Amino acid sequence: MLLNSWQRVRKIHQHNKISVKDLVKIPKVGLVNRMFGFTQSASNDVDIKFRLESERTFQSKKEFEKLIKEWEGQTNLTKWDDLGFSLQGDTSTIHWLSSSLANTTFDCPLDRDKNSIFKSQNLVDWLDLITPDILKLDENSSEENG
């Protein structure tokens, strides 16, 4: 959905985190640091979580795809490394990449009971869990094929 809506992107959002030791080194936020009691001699290196939001449009679909590929290329992504986009006409909704991209492969858990019979309820529960991801694949395929 996002790839086909790249021209409607108006804002980009990012969750992120920074360590207190790195935060206190930023001159412009010195007053805020002091208000929260952060100092360069922080004994424990605590992460501060924050969200960035900026107006943004893309000149081409390739430019938008490049940003997404860079994000996908990162390893060990957490919620705080996610990117989100607000679209023209619905700027109150943020479309986060982590929930917009569908998996194309699924590891099916085939558990057996003590008699070596597959536990069918476990399979049904797993299918219920991944159904939204499967539907995203179908939705993306339909959008690409026109």
What's the pLDDT tens digit per position in 42-79? 556 677 778 889 999 999 999 999 998 888 887 777 66
Instruction: Assess if residue 13 is contained within a domain.
Output: no
Per-residue pLDDT at 10: 93
How many degrees, rounded to 5, is the angle at CA 61 between CA 56 and CA 64? 45
Instruction: Assess if residue 123 is contained within a domain.
Output: yes
Instruction: Assess if residue 86 is contained within a domain.
Output: no
Number of domains observed in the structure of the chain = 1
Q: Are 102 and 137 in contact (CB under 8 A)?
A: yes
CA pair distance 79, 110, nearest whole angstrom:
29
Task: Note down the domain range covering 131.
Answer: 102-146
Tens-place pLDDT, residues 71-118: 888 777 766 678 889 999 888 888 888 776 555 566 777 888 899 888
Amino acid of residue 23: L
Tens-place pLDDT, residues 7-38: 999 999 987 777 777 776 777 666 666 666 76
Q: Using a cut of 0.85, tell me whether the model's pTM lies above it.
A: no
Per-residue pLDDT at 66: 93
Instruction: Assess if residue 134 is contained within a domain.
Output: yes
